[in-house]
Structure 1
Amino acid sequence: MPTLLLVRHGRSTANTAGVLAGWTPGVHLDDHGRAQAAALGQRLGPLPLAALVTSPLERCVETTAALTAVAGPSGPRPQPLVDERLGEARYGDWTGRELRGLVKEPLWRAVQDHPSAVTFPGPEGESLRAMQQRAVDAVREHDARVAQAAGEDAVWVAVTHGDVIKAVLADALGVHLDLFQRIGVDPCSLSAVRYTATRPFVLRMNDTGGDVAALLPPKRRRRRVPATDAVVGGGTGA
């Protein structure tokens, strides 16, 4: 059961402009976002990363490049893979619009309170349910591939977008999509999920500066309960 590190891209030019970028091409990290990504690369330096998978959008590719620029404990990072299923939600006719205008739209209230019913307008619009399904399918497939190739103690990274990470975390927590807006995911934050045969374990959420030593693979395995079970009364920690 590998550990998945969900990384949101660093702050982008669209974030600072208050624009819903979606799949708009040419949206890059701003200066602060590049600094965030570089700092995260340094933070993750002690972790052996078995794989990196990224959304195809520039802000995620640039964040991934910053992570791979820092060698791991065993040498250079693996070549990142690109998976469109980790791309941003397709916001349809909302794409490229300012958030201050979107808050006046009737659909905005549904996005906040009943997102499982929302399909964004226009021929390119996607439902939030479809976005969650494709993203969860992607991370589970990559997780199984990493487990087979690198073992159940492997650590790997998926670099993606805020709404995508919130949807994946909601699924891992067993929370209905209608409650996913209660989850915060900041730029260049780190969330960690470990999938098992019977349930996921959410290990960390929206971490923007914590010590990553607890995410290191164990040097030896000594489990008193099955890996699929939670420790009753709480565990000892790392």
Structure 2
Amino acid sequence: MPTVILVRHGRSTANVAGILTGRAAGVELDDVGRGQAARAAERLAEVPLVAVVSSPLERCLQTARVVAEKHGLLPVQEEPGLTECDYGQWQGRPLQELAKEPLWSVVQRTPSQAVFPGGESMAAMQARAVEAIRRHDAAFGAEHGAGAVWVAVSHGDIIKSVLADALGLDLDLFQRLTVNPGSVSIVRYGTERPEVVATNTDSGDLSWLRGLGPVADAQVGGGAGPGAAS
């Protein structure tokens, strides 16, 4: 199966203000966020991407366009399944204020039970995000082969939930993962199991992704790494 590179959008104006943005319109990258998007794009410049897929929210589209520009005329495909969680009545409120709500401790300790008032549950969020990633991954594999590499640009909780699924973690453990703005995480879906190659990276050469073979049995002892003779 192909390799999916999960990129979180760069820092937004709402991130700095401490507001739970959710799906609100008009939230864009700030100067730091634009720099983070550019850094992610530079890291991916030597990787032969077959597609860039993005949440339809502006901060993700801005990030995705910067990545896509490094690959000529590669279009950005919008995917509603990768959009931010529907936080309902929590949307637009300060995080410091929300931390006083009883639901906050549920989100922290047992997110599988969390349902945002007037919004969606975190379990539903994870289900539709994982479905979208696996659907696109299978399609790109069918079209471009098992060596295909593609990018999905999304949001922190969305990427954390996808990584938790790939790691076989219960959703109640997904808060143990960190996904920073502009970070890159990498997952490969094999026939036997997913392989989580990297999480929350913000630096380093990614050109080695060009030489990855199909996901196979795990190497006992850890193996010799990408590019090593088999």
TM-score for both structures, normalised by structure 2: 0.96
Residue 96 (structure 2) pairs with residue 100 (structure 1): yes
RMSD between superposed Cα atoms in Å: 1.1
- Give 4+ residue runs of structure 1 displaced > 3 Å after superposition: none
Counterparts of residues 108-127 of structure 1 (less than 5 Å): 108-122=104-118, 125-127=119-121
Displacement of 1:100: 0.5
Counterparts of residues 190-205 of structure 1 (less than 5 Å): 190-205=184-199
Displacement of 1:77: 4.6
Q: Do 2:188 and 2:215's aligned partners in 1 also have CA atoms closer than 8 Å?
A: no
Q: Secondary structure at the match of 1:216?
A: helix
Structure 2 partner of 1:4: 4
In structure 2, which of residues 184, 191, 205 is the aligned counterpart of residue 211 of structure 1? 205
Distance 1:42 1:200 in 2: 26
Q: Do 2:13 and 2:27's aligned partners in 1 also have CA atoms closer than 8 Å?
A: yes
- One-letter amino acid of the counterpart of residue 60, structure 1: C
What 5-or-longer segments of structure 1 have no aligned partner?
none
Distance 1:27 1:138 in 2: 23
Displacement of 1:183: 0.1
| Aligned residue pairs, count | 226
In structure 2, which of residues 170, 181, 187 is the aligned counterpart of residue 176 of structure 1? 170
Distance 2:196 2:68 in 1: 24
Residue 229 (structure 2) pairs with residue 233 (structure 1): no
Distance 1:42 1:188 in 2: 12
Q: Deviations over 1:59-97 (max 9, x none)?
A: 0000011111223xxxx1521110110000000000000
Distance 1:214 1:227 in 2: 15
Structure 2 partner of 1:69: 69
Displacement of 1:36: 1.0
In structure 1, which of residues 118, 130, 134 is the aligned counterpart of residue 128 of structure 2? 134
- One-letter amino acid of the counterpart of residue 13, structure 2: T
Distance 2:21 2:185 in 1: 22
- One-letter amino acid of the counterpart of residue 97, structure 1: R
Displacement of 1:234: 1.3
Displacement of 1:29: 0.4
Distance 1:78 1:146 in 2: 14
Q: Secondary structure at the match of 1:228?
A: coil
Q: Which sits farther off after the overlay, 62-71 or 185-194?
A: 62-71
Q: Deviations over 1:16-64 (max 9, x none)?
A: 0000000000000011101111121111100000111000000000001
Percent sequence identity over aligned pairs: 54
Q: Do 1:191 and 1:204's aligned partners in 2 also have CA atoms closer than 8 Å?
A: yes
